[in-house]
Amino acid sequence: MKSWWRKAPAAANDDRLAIEAGGAERALRRLEWTVIRRLDGLLQGDYRTLMRGTGLDLADLREYQHHDDVRHIDWNVTARLQTPHVRVFTEDREMAAWFVLDLSRSVDFGSGLKAKREISAGFVGVLARLLTRHGNRVGALVYGSDLEAVIPPRSGRRHVLHLLHAMEKRAGKAGTEPAQKGMTRLADLLKSAATLMPRRSTVFVVSDFLSEPGWERPLGQLVQRHEVVAVRLFDPLELELPDLGLVPLRDAETGEQLWVDTHDAGFRKRFARLAAERENTLREALARAGVDALELSTDDDLVEAIVRFADLRKRRARIGQAGLKAVAA
């Protein structure tokens, strides 16, 4: 079996990174100047909440899970609640971050200036740089028509360039590949993630969640071991059609095309109703899995989206801290 973890010699890494530096370097510099500099002022150095929802100074406390070390059981709380609870110690907060990247054909779609793929790359570039700049390690799983690359977690700007280049390389492939057979199998990607991440980590699942059914269970299993955040990509045109007359609608996953008359108000209403139903179903599934969700639109300002995400994590931290104090009282 091929090992994903083989380490190339240092000289080979230098040559490879020099080749990769072109587009990835330009993209990262643009993000550093236009996004990260603004975030430095807005987040005021509080990057820990991006990494983990609790961000608590005291140790976390949660119900015992089968993989936990029994030596970490808090017997006082266990006796009080009649359910085994374990303490999560400070070292657990020094977790790596993984980006589970769905870069299938559907993320090429965008009705405005940017496609979902570009929004994904921007988010990953900014988060990876913010985290590695403060000593955290980041890795990635890259999925196109299948799991195509596993990038082990490391730190440093050079590593962020490597990650962005992998995304750029996948985008280049997408333009030359034949249409994929069937929809994205997000469940397979999430199962791979559970297998390839042996240690507890913060996991960002970046996807438009246009997938074959059945991904909810693997996501729930991933949550049992890791801190999981769903970054949901979408385009406004996927939610509501404007009146544009006769237009072709193409399935981004399979390439199938259908002509529709958007002058038909009834058709537009049915489209919006079905899209709203899908939105509600998706949000309910993510809520049941117990993951924080960030919705990223192709017309979003990336700075505002990340600040919104940081605020969400801070609210989660306050709720978690209040819960811990109530249990310990």
Q: Is 76 exposed, middle or buried (0-12, 13-18, 19+ CB in 10 A)?
A: exposed
- The per-residue pLDDT for 91 is 44
Query: The tokens of 311 are what?
Result: 């605020």
Query: The tokens of 19 are what?
Result: 């080749």
Q: Three-state SS for 63? A: strand
Q: Which tens digit of pLDDT belongs to each residue from 228-287?
A: 999 999 999 999 888 888 887 777 666 778 888 888 888 889 989 999 999 999 999 999
Q: Is 141 exposed, middle or buried (0-12, 13-18, 19+ CB in 10 A)?
A: buried
DSSP string, 209-246: --B-S--HHHHHHHHHHSEEEEEEEE-GGGT-----SE
Please tell me the distance from the alpha carbon of residue 254 to that of residue 293, in angstroms, as a whole number. 27
More confident residue, 64 or 197: 197
Range in 33-37, 57-61, 178-182, 245-249 with the lowest mean pLDDT? 57-61
Q: Grade residue 11 by pLDDT with cuts at 50, 70 and 90.
A: very low
The listed CATH number (3.40.50.410, 3.30.1300.10, 3.50.50.60, 3.40.190.10) that belongs to domain 10-52+95-235+296-328? 3.40.50.410
Query: The tokens of 287 are what?
Result: 């809520």
More confident residue, 61 or 124: 124
Name the residue ranges covered by the structural domains of the chain: 10-52+95-235+296-328
Which residues are 135's β-sheet partners?
Answer: none
Q: Which tens digit of pLDDT belongs to each residue from 194-228?
A: 999 988 889 999 999 999 999 999 999 999 888 89
**pLDDT surpasses 80 at 17:** no
Q: Grade residue 83 by pLDDT with cuts at 50, 70 and 90.
A: confident
Query: The tokens of 83 are what?
Result: 């359910």
The model's pTM: 0.77
The b/e string for 94-118 (b: 16+ C-beta within 10 A; e otherwise) is ebbbbbbbbbbbbbebbeeebbbbb
pLDDT, mean of residues 14-28: 64
Q: How far is CA 258 from CA 102, 106, 182, 262, in A?
A: 25, 16, 17, 12
Detail the DSSP E strand segments found in 184-326: 202-207, 227-234, 246-250, 257-261, 292-297
Q: Grade residue 61 by pLDDT with cuts at 50, 70 and 90.
A: confident
